[in-house]
Amino acid sequence: MIQSIDLNAIQSAIKEKYKKVSCSPEGNFKYPTGKKGAEALGYDSTLIEAASQELIFLFCGIGCPFSAGKINTEETILDIGCGGGFDMFCASKLVGPKGKVYGLELSRDMAEKAKNNLSLASARNINIQIGSSEQLPFESSTFDAVISNGVFNLSPEKEKTYSEIFRVLKPGGRLQFADMVLKEELPPGEISAKAWSH
Ligand SMILES: C[S@@+](CC[C@H](N)C(=O)[O-])C[C@H]1O[C@@H](n2cnc3c(N)ncnc32)[C@H](O)[C@@H]1O
């Protein structure tokens, strides 16, 4: 279906959109973002209240990956498409001081915000890398759980994304994600890099 459009053009359009989002998510989404969004999606209120204003302001997830299963203390977690870092912040609170949380982010602008916000929040054992879900810069069998929130719908090569996730999960590891799905295939004329990223 997407062979007719340029995969690089899709990623450039996504980076362009999230450059804007890194300044403010407001007006860039059709759903509530920031604190209102996190509250509406059922995030634990103690985690919302523990986050700084800068951290929660950039939240633009579409669900709550933590409602899909428990994250345990001392686990090693990967957040794909970590955005401004709120989901990484929640994961770091859940794994505790002996756990580790890695983030992967396509947009350099969002990754810089996440690094800054999480360092100001004194979140421990955090590591953020710039890259794409289709080629994960991690060793095989590294993570107890992979989380993601509103990202796979943006990946132009979803089979590669899922195959990479299963490669980096430890045997018995979990994938906990929230995302959007198309209910029916779009006519080819409606598929464009701009439409993909919006
Ligand atoms: C809806 S936001 C994620 C919300 C985030 N987890 C939070 O805590 O607010 C989607 C993020 O995924 C990133 N992204 C999009 N496609 C990606 C891909 N293929 N690989 C990695 N990151 C991607 C975007 O740049 C954006 O920051």
pLDDT in tens, 158-183: 999 999 999 999 999 999 999 998 88
The pLDDT of residue 95 is above 80: yes
- Which is the closest atom of ligand 1 to the Cα of 104? 21
pLDDT at 3: 53
Distance in Å, CA 144 to ligand 1 centroid: 20
pLDDT at 4: 59
Residue of 66, 59, 28 lying closest to 145 (CA atoms): 66
Instruction: Report the predicted TM-score, pTM, of the whole model to 2 decimal places.
Output: 0.95
pLDDT at 1: 47
Q: What percent of the chain has pLDDT over 90?
A: 83
Burial 41-79 (b: 16+ CB within 10 A, else e): bebeeebbeebeeebbbbbbbbbbbbeeeebeeebbbbb
Distance in Å, CA 118 to ligand 1 centroid: 16
pLDDT at 196: 76
For the chain, domains (ranges, CATH) are 7-197 (3.40.50.150)
Distance in Å, CA 60 to ligand 1 centroid: 9
